[in-house]
Amino acid sequence: MLVFASLKLSDLLIDSFGKVMKEASKDKKTYTEKLETATGDSVFKYLLLINVSALEGYVAQTRQQAEQSFQLSKIV
C-alpha cells in the first residue's frame, strides 16, 4: 500500500515537472518573439529572460529524470 502511495506522489511530481518544462518552453518562445522587435537595452533583457527560461526547463527536466530514476531504483 505504501509503495502505491509513493508511486502516486511520484507521478504527481513528474507531472508537475512536465508542466514547468512546458511553461518554460512557452516563455522562451514568447521572449524570442519579443526579442525580434526589441531595441536598445530591451535586447539584453530578453536575452536574459530566454536564458532563464531555458535554465528553468533544464532544471525541471533534470528533476523529472532524477525522480523517475529514484522510483525505478526503489522498485528494483
pLDDT, averaged per 10 consecutive residues of the chain (76 residues), comes to 62 83 92 93 95 94 91 84
Closest by CA to 67, choosing from 23, 10, 28, 21, is 10
State pTM to two decimals. Answer: 0.75
- pLDDT recorded at residue 9: 72
- In the chain, the amino acid numbered 33 is E
Say what the pLDDT of residue 14 is.
80
pLDDT at position 76 is 81
pLDDT of residue 48: 96
